[in-house]
Amino acid sequence: MSTPYGMPPTPPTGAPPLPPVKSRTPLYIALACGCVLVLLLVLGGAGLGFYLLGQDGGEEPTSPPSSIVDPPPSEDPSDDPTDDPSSPTSEAPTEIETDQPVDKPTEGPSADATSPSDEIFTLTVSKPEEGTTLELGGETKTPENDKFIGVAVTIENSSSTSIGLDTDRFRLYDDSGTEINIRYGAFSTSGPEIPAGEEAEAQLYADVPEDTVLAEISYTDEVGTGGQEFRVPVGG
C-alpha cells in the first residue's frame, strides 16, 4: 500500500515504535546555573578583597609612643664629713712595695722637675687625683671619710750614695698649709732606699673629707736634703 505524498510513511505492521526525541533543556539549565555560581564566587572574592584592603588602611593608633626617660640625678649627699683633715691620725700608713704600682694618680709631672741640687736628686710631682675607691695591692680600699686623694712622686737619685724612699720621708699639705695624714703608700723599689744612679716612684694616698684640696708635698732625707724638709707644690 503506497503512502500519499507529504505524509510520513506508515510503519509496517508489527514493527516497534520509534524512540521519543530527547530534550536538551535540562542540560542548558544546568550550564546556566553553573555560570551564575562561578560569577557569584568571583564577585564574592572581589568584595572580600576590597573589605580587607579597607581594614588595612584604617586609622592609625592615636596613643603616643612610649619612651624611656632617665631618672633625674640624685641630690648631693647631706651627710657632713665626720673626720677633721687638719688633725693627722695616729694610725701608721700602709706601705706596699711593687714593681708596677697600681692606680697611678696621673701621668706626667704637674711642673718642671725640682731638686735642691741637681748633683743629688731630681723630684717630680704629678697632678693629684681623687676617688671614692682605691685599687691597691690587689685590694679595693674604701675611705673612712669622703674620698681618697693621691699623688705620684718620682725621684731620680743622681748622687753616688743611696737616698731614702718610704712613707716617713713624705708629708702632704692642704691649701691652708695644714698637714694631711698619709693613709697608704706604694713604692716601686724593693726596699726603703733608692740606689745611686737609679729612679723610683712613690704613690701617696690620703683619706680626707670632700672639700680637702691637696696643695703641697714635702720630702726629707739625711743625704738628699741634708735632713731639711724640701717642699714642692702639686697641681697646675
**For 54-111, how does the pLDDT look when each residue is reduced to its tens digit (9 = 90+)?**
555 444 444 444 333 344 555 554 444 444 444 444 455 655 544 444 454 544 444 4
The pLDDT assigned to 110 comes to 42
Question: What is d(CA 198, CA 2) in angstroms, rounded to the nearest whole number?
Answer: 157
* Contact by Cβ (8 Å): 176, 208: no
Please enumerate in sequence order all residues whose Cβ is within 8 A of that of 130, keeping only pairs 6 or more positions apart, or say none. Answer: 147, 148, 149, 150
Q: Which cell goes with 145?
A: 671619710
The pLDDT assigned to 229 comes to 95
Beta strand pairing status for 184-187 and 94-97? parallel
Question: What's 94-233's CATH class?
Answer: mainly beta
Show me where the domains of the chain are located: 94-233
Question: What is d(CA 15, CA 220) in angstroms, rounded to the nearest whole number?
Answer: 155
The pLDDT assigned to 67 comes to 36
For 176-203, the pLDDT digits (tens) are 999 999 999 999 988 899 999 999 999 9
Q: Which cell goes with 168?
A: 716617713
The enclosing H or E element of 121 equals: strand 121-125
* pTM assigned to the model: 0.53
For 111-139, the pLDDT digits (tens) are 445 556 557 899 999 999 999 999 988 89
Nearest to 163 by CA among 202, 132, 127: 202
The pLDDT assigned to 12 comes to 54
Output DSSP code: residue 168. G
The enclosing H or E element of 208 equals: strand 199-208
Calculate ∠ Cα 227-192-145, nearest 5°.
90
